[in-house]
């Protein structure tokens, strides 16, 4: 049985920090579960890290369902939150409700995550009424990369900070069980968490919130690309994996793999 939203809320109230990572397949899901992580996010960041796209915009509802099914074959204890991808809820709330229900029904995930503030509040209410738990997402919302003119820290001006603060209050009032804050100044994230009862999960939002989320490939150091300021590498798997693959290739080439002991007789 997966950890429940009520149990996560209790942990937050007890001052225990919440942990969340993105995961997209069964192999990693087993490792994430073994590490005792509270929540898995099937992020639409799979568009970047799994599909090699330059943004999350091309990800489909079918992609999200497929990767969530893969993850749920590898774990049972974390709460599994599934991103609603670009285009699955922006046209109208009816379509958003239909897609939210479809995602829970077909993927087996426990909740959905939706980017946006005031414009999604009514949809959040309707999804929660329909039995679909919702995590909000404010700050840098990658599905709006073009309207935001790129990936930048959000909420820096007084007006933008006030709008984000009001959006967070509105999401909680609409029934969201948690809100992700991505790339916002630490002081604003603290102000928002202090005003909310539900847990704020930060990514590039500083330490004064209830929990943290990172893309698993980032935290494991699995790529040679530029590292964002808010990412910490807890391993350098890109080096480990490349070294292992080079070793394998050289053993195959020099004939030392497979050995007689690694052969059937
Ligand atoms: O898609 C994703 O991985 C996310 C996190 C960055 C919060 O939304």
Closest C-alpha residue for ligand 1 atom 4: 43
Query: What percent of the chain is helix, strand and coil (3-state, nearest 5)?
Result: 45, 15, 45
Interval 43-58 mean pLDDT? 97
Ligand 1 close to Cβ of residue 81 (< 6 A): no
Ligand 1 close to Cβ of residue 183 (< 6 A): no
Give the whole-angstrom CA distance, residue 231 versus residue 233: 7
Catalytic one of 13, 33, 162, 182 = 182
Ligand 1 close to Cβ of residue 213 (< 6 A): yes
Give the whole-angstrom CA distance, residue 248 versus residue 260: 16
Give the N- to C-terminal CA distance of the chain in Å, as an integer: 45
For the stretch 208-258, pLDDT in tens is 999 999 999 999 999 888 899 999 999 999 999 999 999 999 999 999 999
Q: Which atom of ligand 1 is nearest to the CA of 201?
A: 7
Q: Is the pLDDT of residue 71 over 90?
A: yes
Give the whole-angstrom CA distance, residue 218 versus residue 21: 10
Ligand 1 close to Cβ of residue 215 (< 6 A): yes
Question: How high is the pLDDT of residue 225?
Answer: 86
Domains of the chain as residue ranges with CATH = 5-234 (3.20.20.60), 236-265 (no CATH)
Pocket test for ligand 1, best of 22, 39, 143, 183 (most atoms within 8 A of CB): 22
Give the whole-angstrom CA distance, residue 63 versus residue 47: 9
Ligand 1 close to Cβ of residue 202 (< 6 A): no
CA max distance for the chain = 74
Q: Under a CB-based contact definition with an 8 Å cutoff, are residues 77 and 33 in contact?
A: yes
Ligand 1 close to Cβ of residue 134 (< 6 A): no
3-state DSSP call for residue 52?
A: coil
For the stretch 175-186, pLDDT in tens is 999 999 999 999
For residue 146, the CA-to-ligand 1 centroid distance in Å is: 17
Ligand 1 close to Cβ of residue 115 (< 6 A): no
Interval 147-167 mean pLDDT? 97
CA dihedral over 170, 174, 175, 179, signed as positive or negative = negative
DSSP 8-class letter at 78:
S
For residue 169, the CA-to-ligand 1 centroid distance in Å is: 21
User: Pick from 123, 102, 119, 210: which is nearest to 174 by CA?
Assistant: 123
Q: Which atom of ligand 1 is nearest to the CA of 43?
A: 1
Q: Is the pLDDT of residue 34 over 90?
A: yes
For the stretch 133-150, pLDDT in tens is 999 999 999 999 999 999
Q: Is 182 a catalytic residue?
A: yes
- In degrees and rounded to multiples of 5, residue 95 shows phi and psi of -65, -35
Q: Which two tokens stand for residue 81?
A: 């939150």
Alpha carbon distances (Å) from 182 to 44, 141, 226, 241, 243: 14, 7, 18, 29, 33
The total number of residues shown for the chain amounts to: 265
Q: Under a CB-based contact definition with an 8 Å cutoff, are residues 82 and 90 in contact?
A: no
Residue 258: cis peptide before it, omega within 30 degrees of 0: yes
């Amino acid at each position: 049985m997966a950890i429940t939203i009520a149990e996560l809320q209790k942990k937050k109230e007890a001052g225990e920090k919440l942990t969340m990572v993105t995961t997209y397949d069964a192999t990693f899901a087993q490792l994430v579960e073994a590490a005792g992580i509270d929540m898995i996010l099937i992020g639409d960041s799979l568009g970047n890290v799994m599909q090699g796209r330059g943004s999350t915009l091309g990800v489909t509802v079918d992609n999200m369902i497929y990767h969530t099914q893969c993850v749920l074959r590898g774990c049972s204890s974390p709460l599994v939150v599934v991103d609603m991808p670009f285009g699955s809820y922006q046209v109208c709330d009816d379509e958003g409700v239909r897609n939210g229900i479809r995602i829970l029904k077909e993927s087996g995930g426990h909740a959905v995550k939706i980017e946006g503030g005031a414009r999604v509040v009514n949809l959040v209410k309707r999804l929660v009424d329909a039995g679909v738990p919702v995590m909000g997402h404010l700050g840098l919302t990658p599905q709006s990369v073009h309207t935001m003119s790129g990936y930048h820290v959000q909420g820096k001006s007084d007006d933008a900070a006030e709008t984000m603060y009001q959006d967070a209050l509105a999401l909680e009032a609409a029934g969201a069980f948690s809100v992700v804050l991505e790339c916002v100044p630490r002081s604003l994230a603290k102000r928002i968490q202090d005003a909310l009862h539900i847990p704020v999960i930060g990514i590039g939002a500083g330490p004064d919130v209830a929990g943290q989320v990172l893309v698993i490939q980032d935290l494991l150091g699995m790529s040679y690309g530029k590292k964002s300021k808010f990412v910490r590498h807890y391993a350098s798997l890109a080096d480990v994996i490349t070294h292992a693959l080079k070793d394998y290739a050289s053993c195959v080439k020099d004939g030392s793999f497979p050995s007689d002991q690694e052969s059937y007789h």
